[in-house]
Amino acid sequence: MLALLRVRVLGAFEIDGLSEHAIGSRKARTLLKVLALARGAPVSSDVLVDALWSDGAPAHPADQVAVLVSRLRTVLGADRLRRADAGYALHADWLDIVEFDARADDATARLRAGGFAGASAAALAALQLVRGPLLANEDGVWVDLERARFERQLARVRLVGAEAMLGCAQPLEAAAYAEEALALDPYDEHALRLLMRAHADAGRPASALARYADTRELLLEELGVSPSSETEAVHTAILLADENTDRAPVKAHERVELVGRESELAQLDAAFDSPMTGAVLVEGDAGIGKTALIGAWLAHSRPGVAPTLLGRCDELGRDLSLQPILDALAGYLRGMAHADVTDLLGAHLDLIGPLVGLESRHGLAPDLLQPTTLFDSVAGRSVLFAALLDVIQRASGDRAAILVVEDIHLAGVSTLAWLRFALRRSHRLRILATSRPLPVNPLPDARVISIGPLDRAAAARLVGVDRVDQLYERSDGNPLFLTQLAAHDADDLPPSIIDNMRARLAPLGGAGASLRAAAVIGMSIDVDLIAAATDLSAVAVLDHLDLGVQASVLREQGTGLAFVHELVREAIAADMTAARRAYTHRQVAHVLLGRSRHDPISVAFHARLGGEVDMAARALHGAASIAVDRHDPEQADQLLSEALLLTDTALLRLARARVRMARSLLAEAADDADAAIALDATAEAFELAGWIAYYRRDYDTAYRLADEALHRAGDAGLQASALALSGRIRHSHGDLIGADEFLARAEQTAPDSVRGLANVWLGGVRAHRGRADDALSAIDRALLDVAHLGHPFAPIHALFSQAYAYGMVGALDRAYRSVDAMREATLRAGETGQRFLPIVANLEAWLLRSTGQYSRAEEENTRALDLSIGTLGEPVSHAHLDLAELALRRGDLVSANYHIELTDERLADNHTMAWHQRHRVLLLRSRSASAAGDLDTAAACAERLELDAERRGAGRYLVLARLQGATVAATVGQRLDHEVVDAAVQDLARVAGIDAWLIAADLASQSGVERWWASAEASAVAFERAAARDPRTDVVVLHEHIARELQRRGR
Dump pLDDT digits (tens) for 434-470: 999 988 888 988 999 999 888 888 888 888 888 888 7
- 342 or 319: which leads in pLDDT: 342
Are 388 and 642 contacting, i.e. CB atoms less than 8 angstroms apart? no
Taking residue 547's Cβ as centre, other Cβ atoms within 10 Å add up to 19
Residue 730, exposed/middle/buried by CB under 10 A (0-12, 13-18, 19+)?
buried
| 440 DSSP assignment | S
pLDDT at 138 over 70: yes
> How far apart (Å, rounded) are the C-alpha atoms in residues 249 and 45?
71
3-class secondary structure, 10: strand
Phi-psi region of 405 (alpha: psi -120 to 50; beta: other; left: phi over 0): beta
Picking from 992, 856, 851, 861, the residue whose alpha carbon sits closest to that of residue 919 is: 992
Q: What pLDDT sits at residue 494?
A: 56
* Structural domain ending residue among the three candidates 420, 450, 480: 450
Task: Give the mean pLDDT of 470-478.
Answer: 77
Residues contacting residue 651 through CB under 8 Å, at least 6 positions apart: 365, 368, 621
Strand partners, 279: 431
Task: Give the mean pLDDT of 236-244.
Answer: 75
> How far apart (Å, rounded) are the C-alpha atoms in residues 693 and 698?
5
Average pLDDT of the residues of the chain: 88
Dmax (CA) for the chain in angstroms is: 121
- Express each pLDDT in 893-951 by its tens digit: 999 999 999 988 877 645 678 899 999 999 999 999 999 999 999 999 999 999 999 99
Residue 443, exposed/middle/buried by CB under 10 A (0-12, 13-18, 19+)?
buried
Residue 335 lies in a domain: yes
Residue 345 lies in a domain: yes
Continuous segment of H or E residues that includes residue 15? strand 14-15
pLDDT at 147 over 80: yes
State residue 280 phi and psi, 5-degree precision: -125, 130
Residue 625 lies in a domain: no
Side chain identity, residue 907: L
Q: What pLDDT sits at residue 137?
A: 83
Q: What pLDDT sits at residue 401?
A: 87
Residue 276 lies in a domain: yes
Q: What pLDDT sits at residue 141?
A: 84
Residue 669 lies in a domain: no
Residue 433 lies in a domain: yes
> How far apart (Å, rounded) are the C-alpha atoms in residues 396 and 204?
12
User: Which range is least confidently modeled, 13-17, 154-158, 433-437, 786-790?
Assistant: 786-790
Q: What pLDDT sits at residue 773?
A: 95
Q: What pLDDT sits at residue 104?
A: 94
Beta strands in 186-334 (DSSP E): 279-283, 308-312
Task: Give the mean pLDDT of 992-997.
Answer: 93
Confidence band of 303 (pLDDT split at 50, 70, 90): very low
- 490 or 859: which leads in pLDDT: 859
Query: Residues of the chain with pLDDT > 70: what percent?
Result: 94
Are 746 and 372 contacting, i.e. CB atoms less than 8 angstroms apart? no
pLDDT at 47 over 80: yes
> How far apart (Å, rounded) are the C-alpha atoms in residues 813 and 719?
39
Are 699 and 729 contacting, i.e. CB atoms less than 8 angstroms apart? yes
3-class secondary structure, 612: coil
Confidence band of 203 (pLDDT split at 50, 70, 90): confident
| Structural domain that includes position 1012 | 989-1051
Please tell me the pTM assigned to this model.
0.80
> How far apart (Å, rounded) are the C-alpha atoms in residues 604 and 157?
31
pLDDT at 360 over 60: no
> How far apart (Å, rounded) are the C-alpha atoms in residues 842 and 862?
9
Picking from 8, 209, 184, the residue whose alpha carbon sits closest to that of residue 93 is: 8
> How far apart (Å, rounded) are the C-alpha atoms in residues 703 and 735?
12
3-class secondary structure, 716: helix
- Express each pLDDT in 483-535 by its tens digit: 777 776 655 545 666 777 777 788 888 899 999 999 999 888 999 899 988 98
Assign residue 430 the CATH number of its domain.
3.40.50.300
3-class secondary structure, 6: strand
pLDDT at 246 over 70: no
- Express each pLDDT in 784-796 by its tens digit: 888 777 777 889 9
State residue 785 phi and psi, 5-degree precision: -140, 75
Continuous segment of H or E residues that includes residue 796? helix 794-808
Q: What pLDDT sits at residue 1041?
A: 92
Q: Which residues of 738-772 are buried (b: 16+ CB within 10 A; e: fewer)?
A: bbbbbbbbbbeebbebbbbbbbbbbbbbbbbbbbb
Are 1016 and 988 contacting, i.e. CB atoms less than 8 angstroms apart? no
Confidence band of 242 (pLDDT split at 50, 70, 90): low
Helix H, strand E, coil C: the string for 805-873 is: HHHHCCCHHHHHHHHHHHHHHHHHCHHHHHHHHHHHHHHHHHHHHHCCCHHHHHHHHHHHHHHCCCCCC
pLDDT at 362 over 50: no
* Structural domain ending residue among the three candidates 389, 420, 450: 450
Taking residue 524's Cβ as centre, other Cβ atoms within 10 Å add up to 16
Let me know how long the chain is.
Answer: 1051
Task: Give the mean pLDDT of 563-572.
Answer: 85
Confidence band of 850 (pLDDT split at 50, 70, 90): very high
Q: What pLDDT sits at residue 304?
A: 46
- From the centroid of its chain, how far is CA 372? 17
- 888 or 16: which leads in pLDDT: 888
| Angle of CA points 934, 940, 944, to nearest 5° | 150
User: Which range is least confidently modeled, 103-107, 314-318, 396-400, 827-831?
Assistant: 314-318
Q: What pLDDT sits at residue 361?
A: 45
Task: Give the mean pLDDT of 38-60.
Answer: 87
* Structural domain ending residue among the three candidates 424, 450, 476: 450
pLDDT at 749 over 70: yes
> How far apart (Å, rounded) are the C-alpha atoms in residues 511 and 548?
8
> How far apart (Å, rounded) are the C-alpha atoms in residues 446 and 267?
13
- From the centroid of its chain, how far is CA 329? 16
User: How many structural domains is the chain composed of?
Assistant: 2
> How far apart (Å, rounded) are the C-alpha atoms in residues 367 and 991?
45
Side chain identity, residue 370: Q
What Cα–Cα distance (Å) separates residue 55 from each residue in 47, 49, 52, 135, 145? 14, 10, 9, 20, 19
Strand partners, 83: 88
- Express each pLDDT in 535-561 by its tens digit: 899 999 999 999 998 888 898 876 678
> How far apart (Å, rounded) are the C-alpha atoms in residues 455 and 898?
82
Q: How far separated are the first and last CA of the chain, in Å rounded?
A: 100
Instruction: Write out the DSSP string of 376-407.
Output: -HHHHHHHHHHHHHHHHHHHHTTSPEEEEEE-
Query: Residues of the chain with pLDDT > 90: what percent?
Result: 56
Residue 46 lies in a domain: no
Q: What pLDDT sits at residue 488?
A: 64
Residue 821 lies in a domain: no
pLDDT at 480 over 80: no
pLDDT at 300 over 80: no
> Which alpha helices (DSSP H) does 953-1009 contain, by range?
955-971, 978-991, 996-1007
Q: What pLDDT sits at residue 301?
A: 61
Task: Give the mean pLDDT of 810-833.
Answer: 89
- Express each pLDDT in 719-738 by its tens digit: 999 999 999 999 998 999 99
Work out whether strand 14-15 and strand 81-84 pair parallel, antiparallel, or are unpaired: unpaired
| Angle of CA points 842, 844, 845, to nearest 5° | 65
- 746 or 287: which leads in pLDDT: 746
3-class secondary structure, 562: strand
